Chain A
Amino acid sequence: MEEPEAGCRGGAEAVLNLKPNSSISIAYHSLFGPHDDLILLELDEKLLPDILHNRVTVRGKPDEEAVLCTQSKTYALKFVGTSNSVFLIPPSNRSELNLNSDEGNGTVDDKPVVAPVIKVAPGNMEIVEVAPRIDKLKLLLSENPYRPEEEVEMEEKKDKEGLFRWDDLVNRVQASDEELMTGLRALSAVEIDGYWRIVDEKYMDIVLSMLLHNSVLNGWSLNALRENEVVGVLVADEFPCRIALHCLEMYGSKMDEDMGEDCLWKLDEKRVCLHFARGVLRGEKRKMESFMEEWMQKIPAGMQASFDMLEGEVLIERVGVETWVHAFSISSLPSNPAERFSVLFRERSKWEWKDLQPYIRNLRVPGLSSEGLLLKYTRKTQPTLDAEPVFSAR
């Protein structure tokens, strides 16, 4: 094989390093063609290291608009066309393309210096940072929440359809690895036997009640629960070990880990109280007084519930002299801003800022501030200067 010598046969380097007072022939390559498999991607300089270290993937199903993911961020891929003629010239020694396969018979010296054009690029791809399309994760995991009956059933049926491993999720959800992990945490998902699951809410309620019940029986402090002891007692009550541990993860936080094998957990007052408020309001609206009464009864000793904890979880309605509350959880809302506002205005046509704020504070749109979001999706009215502004649909 004749090794093409750089600079002699031309190529991109001859064009880029063209000496003053000289010229080079630009010609169609012997393999010139549409080459649809060659794509130009415009990228920020700061993302190049990610590319060079193979940390970038393209994710999406064939019917979805593809996204490009780094470890931590998601970008939409857009094609930008051009009406210019963009002649693409490869370097002279592109073995992958089998270029320069048209070696002539003459010696190097009498060959003209040519820069061959392999294709005319119709445009290039560019990327725009977007919020991850994470709502699909909830949809997928909600198909088959983990239920206690399953332990028995799973033995018999080997069929794992509707269950998802990490790799299955990566293939289906358009989000970067970090965003996907954050999404799993936000859903309180847990990896059981290699599959990511959300646990049936009513089942979790039983586990938590049993944990609290055992704390009373055994005189445990809710601020210093010993993992081995708690898990051991729950397992003795025939709860799976992973579920017992998940209960601690979901409603508590691990304290310093220098305890070796046995670590200490502290139950989170807000998360526990919220759990019981949801239980009371499940599926129905309640008069404020009766809700508060029932809620307070369920709060474990040593914990203090307050209505502030329910921000972004319940809405208050005033009907005449009566005050009603009903569940309306931010976690049930779509993460796409247009869909989020549409659901919010279906719930209520007018929102005061203090009510609206808890439901939009976790909206993240790259390049758009929260003021920008409000301008784009709401109409703000303020009857008088000192009145509270009211937001309605655009």
Chain B
Amino acid sequence: MQIQVKCRCGEGKCPEWAIVELQGVVEAQSSFLDRLQNLEIGRLCRPSSQENYTFTVGYHELSGSKVPLKKPLLVLKKNRDLDPDQPNELNSSRVELEVIGIIRYRILFKTRPKALISKAQPVVKEKKAGEPNPDVSIK
């Protein structure tokens, strides 16, 4: 079969997505595991005019920088159009890959996290009342 790769963005106008990448896995406390939605992971901070960044996750701080990708990444979305005549037949569905974005930069944290032991978290979070207290850590 043939799957068409479609792009409806128009010439050079693909919306740009971003990647924040770190080594290891971010884990939420078990009470949040099945409802991660809206939970804060951490705070991304750009301390100077250079492209250096810190990412504070729970009581850990990561240092990293913004790096251009050697080759761009396209964000594709798999769309499945069911044939209206035979909606129950899997083979009759037409699949299309739609380009919905492009990624040219990532903010990469490749160092091990530094523990923020005695000081409080450097950035005060603005929280809405009733929002769960984010509790995440890097494993």
Contacts and interface: CB of A to CB of B under 8 A. Distances in A.
Interface string A28-48: 111110001111111111001
A54 B77 contact: no
B26 interface: yes
Contact of B49 (A20, A37, A60): A20
7 contacts: A12-B17, A26-B40, A30-B37, A39-B78, A52-B99, A84-B21, A96-B98
Nearest to A66: B3
Given A27-B39, A89-B17, A58 B3 contact: yes
Interface of B: 1-7, 9, 11-12, 14-26, 36-49, 53, 55, 66, 69, 71-79, 97-101, 103, 105-107, 123, 125-128, 134
A59 B38 CA distance: 38
Of the listed residues A22, A31, A32, A85, the one surrounded by the most CB atoms of chain B closer than 10 A to its CB is: A85
Contact of A40 (B9, B16, B74): B74
A36 B16 CA distance: 20
Interface in A94-139: 94, 96-97, 102, 104, 106, 112, 114-115, 117, 121, 124
A16 B51 CA distance: 10
A38 B20 contact: no
B99 A51 contact: yes
B84 to A, nearest CB: 21
B20 A87 contact: yes
A92 B14 CA distance: 14
A24 B36 CA distance: 18
Contacts of B76: 38-41
Given A51-B7, A88-B17, 18 more contacts: A22-B45, A25-B44, A26-B42, A26-B43, A28-B38, A40-B74, A43-B71, A53-B7, A59-B2, A83-B23, A84-B22, A85-B25, A86-B106, A89-B17, A90-B17, A91-B101, A96-B100, A121-B19
Interface in A67-90: 68, 83-90
A27 B41 contact: yes
Contacts of B16: 12-13, 16, 91
A53 B4 CA distance: 11
A170 interface: yes
Contact of B21 (A19, A59, A86): A86
Contact of A124 (B4, B73, B97): B73
A289 B129 CA distance: 100
A31 B46 contact: no
A31 B48 CA distance: 32
A287 interface: no
B43 A24 contact: yes
Contacts of B5: 51, 54, 56-58, 68
A40 B26 contact: no
Interface string A376-390: 000000000000000
Contacts of A28: 36-41
A20 B38 contact: no
A22 to B, nearest CB: 6
Nearest to B125: A25
A297 interface: no
Main secondary structure of the interface of A (DSSP, over half): mixed
Contacts of B78: 36-39
Of the listed residues A27, A36, A53, the one surrounded by the most CB atoms of chain B closer than 10 A to its CB is: A27
Contact of B73 (A42, A54, A87, A114): A42
Given A12-B18, A51-B7, A117-B20, A23 B41 contact: no
A44 B12 CA distance: 15
A18 interface: yes
A48 B20 contact: no
B20 A89 contact: yes
A360 B87 CA distance: 49
A182 interface: no
Nearest to A19: B46
Contacts of A85: 21-26
A25 B74 contact: no
Contacts of B73: 40-43, 124
A218 interface: no
Contacts of B14: 52
Contacts of B45: 22-23
Contacts of A84: 21-24
Contacts of B99: 51-52
Nearest to A106: B128
A23 B123 contact: yes
A332 interface: no
B122 to A, nearest CB: 9
Interface in A142-183: 170-171
